[in-house]
Amino acid sequence: MSEPTITRAEVRRCIDNRGPGLRFPPAVERAFETYRRRHQARVTLATIGPTLLIYNLFLIVDFLLLPQTFLIALVAHLLVVTPVILLAGWLVRREPGLILRESLTATIPLAMVAQILCVYALNSGPSADQYQFLVLPVLIYACVNQRLDFRFAAATTALIVAAYLAVLLPHANTVATQLVGLTIMPCVAYLGIAASYRMEWDTRYAFLRRLQDRLKREEAELAARHDPLTGLANRYALERRIESLQTGLHGSDLSVAALMIDVDHFKAFNDHHGHPEGDACLQRIAGALYARLRNDSDLAVRVGGEEFLVLLHGAGLADAVRIGERIRHAVEGFGIRHAERHDHGVVTVSIGAMAGSLARFRVDQLIDGADSALYAAKDAGRNRVWPPFDEADANAPGRTRHAPA
């Protein structure tokens, strides 16, 4: 599932309005869940080994305190709980959804506690009363190391405390043991829950800061590559594309076409109608260019003022002229009034086209050729594409090489 689109303003509002709650607006929450799912998978991979090692070292306690049930503890450790831990860890690494992931993660400490309480229930005496305190480090492990969603951490803690008290109260050898358990367990549970809440709050805040920094970098990169008025690529992006084509496809038989586009009599339009109308006119023309790009490999660029350039990846001259005619018709069809023109009365564009294989031409040569063709279009009366389609089609080498229009 793709990450939802989030603006920097949304993230800023989340940071400014951070209260004690542990939820974001829906779009940000989905992005956080995506991050958390991947993070949990990495953490599980990193901690599954140490978890198994430390848990199975508890067998030393079994051997020293309760040797009479050591064999039962050994079987429970190695044949029951260890496989549960491995299975849960493997499934979490597959990045399941929130409920399944948190449930699987919680299963690990719950299985450990179940094993400890079962062994405790099979024994009695002072050694057994010491053994039952192994539940405490497991509870801390559940709240701190597992980094459960706070709701699941609270539910897991409640289950552990309830199970602990349900076994301890009827089974403890002395009232003192019961009182110690009743005192220590709620305290540890509270500290664990408080730590879980604080860690999730901090994790969410850190996520917002990282997201804000990432969006800021992306916006800066976007601004560096795009013209702020029209949203088309700028000269910097054009230079990067030319460099990419020249280094990656130099000597290739791939044909690249260039369309150089100029708005006819734009200075007169700007002077008469004003700069706001001029800007709006350029934006509409930019939209017409962008709408006629065939795929992400094509590039529309505002090269300056009222001049635009379109690079068509894998297109021949006839294809370029065909697309140029579509652009010209679209702009003329807008019917943008041009009071200083007495021939058409509306804004039009002139377009020059050139195409060739990268084995014969550099990209800058194709652009220069399109620029020369643009001047020919202007000399021929403006509001036209040069060369004309019939001439371009007749001169196209191997018509079967034309890119789809």
Amino acid at 2: S
Chain segment 358-383, per-residue pLDDT in tens: 888 899 999 999 999 999 999 999 99
- Residue 122: strand, helix, or coil: coil
Q: Which of 381, 399, 355 is nearest to 260 (CA)?
A: 355
Burial 62-89 (b: 16+ CB within 10 A, else e): beebbeebeebbeebbeeebbebbeebb
Chain segment 240-263, per-residue pLDDT in tens: 999 888 887 666 788 899 999 999
- Residue 253: strand, helix, or coil: coil
Q: Which of 278, 393, 256, 258 is nearest to 347 (CA)?
A: 278
Chain segment 64-96, per-residue pLDDT in tens: 999 999 999 999 999 999 999 999 999 999 999
State whether the Cα torsion 131-137-142-145 is positive or negative.
negative
The CATH number corresponding to 235-401 among 3.40.50.720, 3.40.50.1980, 3.40.1350.10, 3.30.70.270 equals 3.30.70.270
If you count them, how many residues does the chain have? 405
Q: If you average pLDDT over residues 220-239, what whole number do you get?
A: 89
Q: How far apart (Å, rounded) are the C-alpha atoms in residues 143 and 155?
A: 11
Can you spell out the DSSP letters for 367-396? HHHHHHHHHHHHHTTSSSEES-HHHHHHH-
User: What pLDDT does residue 250 have?
Assistant: 62
User: What pLDDT does residue 393 have?
Assistant: 58
Q: How far apart (Å, rounded) are the C-alpha atoms in residues 264 and 347?
A: 7
Judge contact between 146 and 109, C-beta under 8 A: yes
Q: Which of 88, 63, 64 is nearest to 74 (CA)?
A: 63
Which residues have C-beta within 8 Å of that of residue 308, sequence separation ≥ 6? 232, 260, 261, 262, 285, 286, 289, 300, 301, 302
What percent of the chain is helix, strand and coil (3-state, nearest 5)?
Answer: 70, 10, 20
21 exposure class (CB count in 10 Å sphere: 0-12, 13-18, 19+): exposed
Q: Which of 20, 145, 38, 138 is nearest to 98 (CA)?
A: 38
**Summary mean pLDDT of the chain:** 90
Q: Which CA distances in Å does 394 have to 309, 328, 384, 390, 400?
A: 24, 21, 18, 6, 13
Q: Where are the domains of the chain?
A: 8-219, 235-401
Judge contact between 181 and 164, C-beta under 8 A: yes
Q: If you average pLDDT over residues 29-43, what whole number do you get?
A: 91
Task: Please report where in the chains the tokens 């367990």 appear, as a residue.
Answer: 185
Q: How far apart (Å, rounded) are the C-alpha atoms in residues 261 and 205?
A: 48
Q: How far apart (Å, rounded) are the C-alpha atoms in residues 323 and 305?
A: 22
Asked if the model's pLDDT at residue 184 lies above 90, the reply is yes
User: What pLDDT does residue 396 have?
Assistant: 54
Amino acid at 322: R
